Amino acid sequence: MNRSSFLRELRMHLHGLPEQKIDDIIEGYERNFAEAAANDISDEEVIERLGSPFIIAESLKKKNQWGFEKKPEPERSEAGRLLVGISLIFFNLVLVLGPIVGIMGGLAGIYIALLACIVSPLLVLFTFLVASRDLLDLFVSCIASGVSIILLPHFMKLLRYCASLLTRYIRWTAKQIRGIAR
């Protein structure tokens, strides 16, 4: 990374601050580079000492040392809070609950089918020994069992991912409700 790419990336990460403050910060870092060059310190050494432009920008935003004003969160009126609350309830009950229940039912059905396929050779073997002598049924059930054993770990990863998505959505909804309750 060179001086211009460092300063360009720093400017990008400072987005959201007033433009004048961003210009002041960039000018300050340009002066640092100029002073380092006067002392025979390379741009690469300066960048290595400064660190990541992202981390610099985040620390400047958090410290508020440049005097920029944080925008206060707008206060909602009681009617606005009520409207947001009703909208959130309507959205969750009408548009979210049905697909979630459908997806959960489908995933449960696939899980049960995979488990049944894993157990199927035992059941077919029992019927093979007791009643019929059809090897094709035993062969097909063994193949289905093997495929199910291979697919089950991947399906479990999918279930964990879906559970994490649902958890994140519930947390987001709870955050919105807490925002309404203020």
Instruction: Provide the pLDDT for residue 160.
Output: 95
Residue found under tokens 């720093």: 10
| DSSP secondary structure of 83-151 | HHHHHHHHIIIIIIHHHHHHHHHHHHHHHHHHHHHHHHHHHHHHHHHHT---HHHHHHHHHHHHHHHHH
What token pair was written down for 99? 């697909």
**What proportion of the chain, given as a percentage, has pLDDT over 90?**
30
**What proportion of the chain, given as a percentage, has pLDDT over 70?**
90
Residue 2: strand, helix, or coil: coil
Instruction: Provide the pLDDT for residue 76.
Output: 61
pLDDT value at 100 more than 80: yes
Provide the residue ranges of all domains of the chain, joining segments of one domain with +. Answer: 3-63, 78-181
Residues 6+ apart with CB under 8 A from 121: 138, 141, 142, 145
Question: Does the predicted TM-score (pTM) go above 0.85?
Answer: no
Distance CA 31, CA 34 (A): 5
Distance CA 130, CA 151 (A): 30
What token pair was written down for 48? 């290595």
Residue found under tokens 């039912």: 105
- pLDDT tens digits for range 9-60: 888 888 878 888 888 888 988 888 888 888 888 888 888 888 888 888 888 7
With bands split at pLDDT 50, 70 and 90, how would you rate the model's confidence at 158? very high
Residue found under tokens 């609950």: 97
- pLDDT tens digits for range 104-129: 999 999 999 999 999 999 888 888 78
Distance CA 92, CA 87 (A): 8
With bands split at pLDDT 50, 70 and 90, how would you rate the model's confidence at 172? confident
Distance CA 20, CA 67 (A): 11
Average pLDDT value over all residues in the chain: 84
33 and 43 in contact (C-beta within 8 Å)? yes
